[in-house]
Amino acid sequence: MLFTDNDLAKYEAVATTAHKYEHYAYTNEPTPVVGLPKKTSGGVQPVYNRLSRLIWNPFIIFTKNKSTLKVEQFFKDKSIKLKDRTEQLCRLVAEHGITPDTLMQYAEKAKDTDKATCIESLEYATKTNPGIMTHTALSMVIDSLTATAPRVKWESARVVGNCIHLFPNRVEAAVKNLLDNSEHEGTVVRWSTAFALAQILAMNTSLNSRLVPAIEAIIMLEEKNSIAKIYATALEKITPKKKATL
């Protein structure tokens, strides 16, 4: 939640005005919303900053209780370049302008390109702050490992690798889908899968008794030395006396 109840009580007029508009044009310099108090010392300044910082994004709708992102409108808006979408979504997730749950709920029904962009934004956000991930969103990401689109597979694997250590009860489901992807024809899919499985190995759960021999078999079949090395390094960390053969 971007604004406290106290903020919204003080500046309800600002929120009401902003709620009338679904689109704000991007500006490099903060532009005050109509009705926003002028910059002054004291309590107004923080709220001014918090509002104006979000003017760059045209899809924040302020309500009395919270701000809501209309993800569907985000992807329909042609003014946003494709290469900028991930960055903008990542920023919104990182700043709590949109929750991982909301993003993944949209992603589940979206076309593959948009779904991959949603998951990629979570990948960037969880790389620095894995704690923002929720159990529900991670479960959806784990399910996305079974998607047909390679990009959806590899972005999902990276999200899993970033935050699975916070959700030990989701490890088994993740491992099942990741192992299926370990033989995928796409190099990026296999690399991302190796990254995620290496993170799971490092958790040293009881599942390792089955995972270790599975990964040893993967190493023998993996044609890319760079991917095999990810697995071998992970194995060496949990069994220092055992050297995996590349």
Return the DSSP state at 63: -
52 φ/ψ sector (left φ>0, alpha ψ -120 to 50, else beta): alpha
Residue 42 lies in a domain: yes
61 phi/psi in degrees, rounded to 5: -115, 115
Residue 108 lies in a domain: no
Burial of 44 from C-beta contacts in 10 A (0-12 / 13-18 / 19+):
middle
User: Percent of the chain at pLDDT above 70?
Assistant: 68
Residue 165 lies in a domain: no
pLDDT at 56: 35
pLDDT at 44: 41
Residue 205 lies in a domain: no
Residue 2 lies in a domain: yes
pLDDT at 239: 67
- Among 137, 172, 174, 169, smallest CA distance to 157 is for 174
- The answer to whether 151 and 186 are in contact (CB under 8 A) is no
pLDDT at 140: 96
Strand bridging mode 60-62 / 67-69: antiparallel
pLDDT at 58: 37
Please enumerate in sequence order all residues whose Cβ is within 8 A of that of 216, keeping only pairs 6 or more positions apart, or say none. Answer: 235, 244
pLDDT at 2: 42
Domains in the chain: how many in total? 1
93 confidence band (pLDDT: 50, 70, 90): confident
- Which pLDDT tens digit goes with each residue over 37-75? 444 444 444 444 444 444 334 333 333 223 334 677 777
Residue 179 lies in a domain: no
pLDDT at 70: 62
Residue 33 lies in a domain: yes
- The answer to whether 207 and 242 are in contact (CB under 8 A) is no
Return the DSSP state at 37: P
Q: Residue 64: which domain range?
A: 1-69
Q: Indicate whether this model's pTM tops 0.75.
A: no
**What is the residue-averaged pLDDT of the chain?**
76
240 confidence band (pLDDT: 50, 70, 90): low
pLDDT at 238: 85
- Report the Cα–Cα distance between both ends of the chain, in Å, rounded: 49
pLDDT at 38: 45
- The answer to whether 212 and 244 are in contact (CB under 8 A) is no
16 phi/psi in degrees, rounded to 5: -65, -45
- Which pLDDT tens digit goes with each residue over 127-137? 999 999 999 99
Work out the average pLDDT over 186-200: 97
Residue 47 lies in a domain: yes
In angstroms, the CA 200 to CA 18 distance is: 45
- Which pLDDT tens digit goes with each residue over 200-216? 999 999 999 999 999 99
pLDDT at 71: 76
Rounded to 5°, the CA angle 245-171-1 comes to 130
224 phi/psi in degrees, rounded to 5: -95, 120
